[in-house]
Amino acid sequence: MFQSRKTNAFLIQAVIGLVVVAALVLFVRYAQRSLEAQNMTSGFAFLWRSTGWDVGFSLIPYTINDPYWRVILVGILNTLFLGLIGLALATIIGIIVGALRTSVNPVMSFLGTLYVESIRNVPMILQAFFWYAVFTHLPPPRQSIDLGGMMFLSARGIFVPWLNVSTFAAGFAGVAFGCAVLLALTFSLLPRRSLFQRTLYPKLSRLALLGGILFAAAVLFFGRNTDGLFQLPQLKGLNFTGGLRVSPEFAALLTAMSLYGGAFLGEIIRAGFLSVNRGQIEAAHALGLSGWHVFTRVRLPLALRAVLPTLTNQYVWLIKATTLGIAVGFSDFFLVISTSINQSGQTLELIAILMAGFLVINNVLAGVMNFINARIKLRGTQLRI
Amino acid sequence: MTDIALAPPSLDLRHMVRRKLFPTPLSGLVSLIGIALISWLAWALIRWAILDAVFFGTPDECKQAAGACWAVITTRWRLMFFGLYPYDEHWRSAFGCLTLIAVIVLSCIPWFWTALRISVLWVVSFTIFVVLMRGGLFGLSVITEDKWGGLALSIFIFAGTSLLGMPLAIMLALLRRSPLPLVAKLSGLFIDTVRSLPLITILFTVAILLPIIVPGLAGTKITRVICGMAVFFAAYQAEIIRSGIQSLPVGQEEAAKALGLNYWQRTRKIILPQAFRRALPPTVSQFAISFKEVALVIVIGIFDFLASGNAAYGSGDWAFAYVEVYAFMAFVYFIFVFSLSRYGAYLERRMRVGK
C-alpha cells in the first residue's frame, strides 16, 4: 500500500495508539460525566476532608476527625505491617517445610508432604474465615485460656506481654533499630572489589547490627516506665489491661497468611534444596563441617540463591493476599479504600490511588528483591547440575 | 579374601526399615517421634471425625457428643451445594454441576486436545448448563441468576472464567509477541498491570463500581464477575503460553515461513499446538489456582459455595459447628484442587520421559 514496510508499520501503530488513547479519554470523560450526574464531584480535594469514621486497627494515631489522606496512609501502613510480618513467618515455615520435604528420613518428608498438600489445596480465604471463626469463638476474657500466666487467648483477642516504655522511647528505639538494619544491609550488599573491602564490609555489617540492637535496648531501658520493663496482661473486670492486644482479625489473617504462604514457599525452597549439587554437600562433609554447619553455611545459602527470583514472585503474591482483610474486617489498604469509596463517593480517584498504591508496593518489593538477587547471586561459572 | 565379597543389596523388609528409618541413633529417635506424632494425629482425627461423631441429628444431640457434628452437613447440604435455588428444581442444578465436572474430567483426556474438539466440548456443555439452570426452554421454569448459588455457582463461575479466559489469553500472548512494538508494549503493559493487582480489587471494580460509573451497563453481576475473573486468568495464562512459545526452537517458525505458510497458518498449525504441549503442566496448575480463586467472589456478595457454607452454620442453632462446616468445605475444595494438581504433576512426569 505504502512505499515501505516501515512506513506501513508506523502508520498502523499510529492509528492503534490514537484509538487506544481516544478510547481511554472518552471512557474517563464519560465516567466523570455520569458520576457528576449523580452529584459526585471529581478531583482530589476530598483527601483533605475529614472522614467521620473510625478504623479497627491503626499503627499511627487516628481519629474520626482526621482527613482522608491519613486514613489511606493508615491502610497502607497496616498492609505493609501485616505483609512484612506474614512474609517473615511464612519464610520461616517455608524453610522448615522445605527442609522436611527434602529430608532423607521418610517420616520427616511424609510430615512435610502432609502439611503442604493439606494447606496448599484449600483456598486461602476459606482458611482465613476458619481462623477468624476459631479466634472469635474463643472463650470470653473471664474464662480465657491462660498460657503460663503470660499469654491469654480470648474472644476479644490474644493478649501478650509487651514492653512497658514511653511512646517516645519506643518510637525512637524502633527508628534507630530500623536504621541499623538498613546500614547493615547496605554494607552486606555493597560491591566488594578488593580483599580489604571483602574482609571489612561483613565486619561493619555485623557491627552496625549489634550496635543497633544495643542502642535500641539502651533507649528502651532508659525510657521505661516506673513499674518495670515488661508489662503482663491482667484481667480487670470484663477485659484485660496492659500487655499487647492482637485482634482476632489480625491474628486470623496472619495465621492464614503464614500457613498458606509457608506451604508455597516450602515447595519453592524445596526446589532450591534439590538444585544444590550433591558434590557441594559431600565436599562440605569432607571438610569436617558438622551437620548443622553444612545446612546453615552450604545448603541453605545455595538453595536460597537458586530460588530467589521465584521467591520474589511468591512474596509479591503474598503481599497482594493481605487484601483478604476485607473478608474478616481487618483495616488493610483495600478495606480502607473500599470504605472510603462508600463514604465519599470519589470512585475513580480512589480506584486510581488503590491501583497506584499496589503498583508501587509490588514494584518496590520486586525491585528490592531483584537488587538483592543481583548482588548475592553466584558469580562465575559454577557448574550446578 | 573370600570374606570381602560384596553382599547383594538386601531387599529384606527388616533391613529396608532399618536402613531408611534408623540409620543413626539420632535419626532413629527423630523417626520414632515423627511416627508417634503421626499416629497420635491420625488417631485423634479418626476419633473426632468418625468414632465420636454425630452424623444425623439435632444440634442438642451434637453438643452432647465429643466428636464432630456432621449432622450440620447432613441437614444443610442442599443449602451448601445449591444455595437459594428453588428446592423442587435442585435436580437441575445437580445435573448442571455434574455436566461441568464431567467436562473438566473429559478435558484431561488427550483425545480432546485439539482446538476444535475442546472448544465444541466446552461450548456445548456450558450451554447445557445454562439452559438447565436458567430454564425457559423445554418447559423448564425460568430461574434467574440471582437465585443461583452454592457449589453449582462456584463451578459455573470457574467454567465461565476458563471458557472466556483461554481465548483471551491466547490473544494477549500473540499480541505481546507482535512485531509492531507499540502493540507488543500495550499488551505487555496490560498484562503486567493486571498481574500486579490483587484479584479482589479487580472483582470489586467490575462488580460494584462499574455499574456506578457506567449506569446503563448490560449484564448481571455474575456475568461481570466472570468477565473480571477471565481477564485476570488471561493475564496469567498469557504469560504461560508466551513462555511455551518462547521455548520453541526458532527453526520451527522459520521452517514454516520457508514453506510459505502465512501468519495464521503458522500460528494455528505450528506454533500454538507445540507451545500448548510444552505449557500444559503450568496451565493445569493455573486452572487449579483459578478454581481456588473463585472462592474470593464471596467478598463482593455472591452466594457461592463458601458463602452458603457460612450461611449453613451462621444462623443460630448450628453456630457451634463451624469447624465441621469449614472442614467439609475444605475437603470438597481439596478433592478438586488436589486431583487437578496431581494430574498436572503426572503430565509433567510423562513429558519429561519423552525428552
pLDDT in tens, chain B (355 residues): 455 556 555 567 777 777 777 777 777 888 888 889 899 989 988 888 777 777 777 777 777 777 777 777 777 777 778 877 777 777 777 888 888 888 888 887 778 777 788 888 888 888 888 877 777 677 677 777 777 778 888 888 998 898 899 999 999 999 888 888 888 888 888 888 888 888 888 888 888 878 877 777 767 888 889 999 999 999 999 989 988 888 888 888 889 889 988 888 888 888 888 888 888 888 888 888 899 888 888 888 888 888 888 887 777 777 777 888 888 889 999 998 898 888 888 887 877 655 4
Mutate one of A79, A103, A117, A129 to test the B interface: name it (highest B CB count within 10 A): A129
Residue of A nearest to B307 (CA): A126
Domain assignment present for B209: yes
Return d(Cα A330, Cα A75) in angstroms, integer. Answer: 9
CA distance B20 to chain A (A): 7
Residue A385's pLDDT is: 43
Size of interface A-B (CB pairs under 8 A): 133
CA distance B93 to chain A (A): 23
pTM score of the predicted model: 0.84
CATH of the domain at B174: 1.10.3720.10
Which residue in A31, A111, A125 is closest to B306 by CB distance?
Answer: A125
**How large is the ipTM?**
0.85
CA distance B135 to chain A (A): 31
Q: What are phi and psi of B181, to 5 degrees?
A: -60, -35
Give exposure, B213-244, as e/b (b: 16+ Cβ within 10 Å): beeeeeeebbebbbbbbbbbbbbbbbbbbbeb
Q: Which residues are CB-contacts of A349 (< 8 A; sequence separation ≥ 6)?
A: A42, A43, A44, A46
CA distance B92 to chain A (A): 27
CA distance A361 to chain B (A): 9
Residue A91's pLDDT is: 92
Residue A259's pLDDT is: 94
Return d(Cα B171, Cα A192) in angstroms, integer. Answer: 47
Find how far residue B126's CA is from the centre of its chain. 17
Judged by a CB distance cut-off of 8 A, whether residue A235 touches chain B is no
Residue B229's pLDDT is: 92
Asked if the Cβ–Cβ distance from A38 to B204 is below 8 Å, we say no
pLDDT-flagged residues of chain A (< 70)? 1-3, 39-42, 226-229, 237-238, 378-385
Considering only CB atoms, which chain A residues are within 8 Å of B213? 31, 34-35, 347-348
Residue A150's pLDDT is: 73
Residue B86 domain boundaries = 71-354
Which residue in A133, A347, A359 is closest to B326 by CB distance?
Answer: A133
Judged by a CB distance cut-off of 8 A, whether residue B27 touches chain A is yes
Q: What is the DSSP letter of B300?
A: G
Residue A257's pLDDT is: 93
Asked if the Cβ–Cβ distance from A31 to B180 is below 8 Å, we say no
Asked if the Cβ–Cβ distance from B292 to A358 is below 8 Å, we say no
CA angle (B294 as vertex; A86, B299 as ends), nearest 5: 70
Residue of A nearest to B197 (CA): A358
CA distance A73 to chain B (A): 18
Contact B151, B328 (CB under 8 A): no
The residue ranges of DSSP E strands in A197-285, in sequence order, are 230-231, 234-236, 239-241, 244-246
Residue of A nearest to B329 (CA): A126
Judged by a CB distance cut-off of 8 A, whether residue A315 touches chain B is no
Chain B stretch 75-134, residues whose beta carbon is closer than 8 A to a beta carbon of chain A = none
Asked if the Cβ–Cβ distance from A108 to B30 is below 8 Å, we say yes
Asked if the Cβ–Cβ distance from B333 to A134 is below 8 Å, we say no
Asked if the Cβ–Cβ distance from A13 to B204 is below 8 Å, we say no
Judged by a CB distance cut-off of 8 A, whether residue B17 touches chain A is no
Domain assignment present for B37: no
Residue A177's pLDDT is: 86
> Which has the closest alpha carbon to A110: B37, B348, B337?
B37
Considering only CB atoms, which chain B residues are within 8 Å of A12? 180
Domain assignment present for B12: no
CA distance B173 to chain A (A): 18
Mutate one of B20, B202, B208, B213 to test the A interface: name it (highest A CB count within 10 A): B213
Judged by a CB distance cut-off of 8 A, whether residue A30 touches chain B is yes
Chain A stretch 65-94, residues whose beta carbon is closer than 8 A to a beta carbon of chain B = none
Contact A328, A247 (CB under 8 A): no
Residue B204's pLDDT is: 85
Residue B188's pLDDT is: 87
Residue A261's pLDDT is: 92
Return d(Cα A174, Cα B200) in angstroms, integer. Answer: 33
Asked if the Cβ–Cβ distance from B333 to A16 is below 8 Å, we say no
Total count of domains within chain B:
1
Chain B stretch 274-303, residues whose beta carbon is closer than 8 A to a beta carbon of chain A = 288, 292-293, 295-296, 298-299
Helix (H, G, I), strand (E, B) or coil at A29: helix
Domain assignment present for B206: yes
Asked if the Cβ–Cβ distance from B35 to A107 is below 8 Å, we say yes
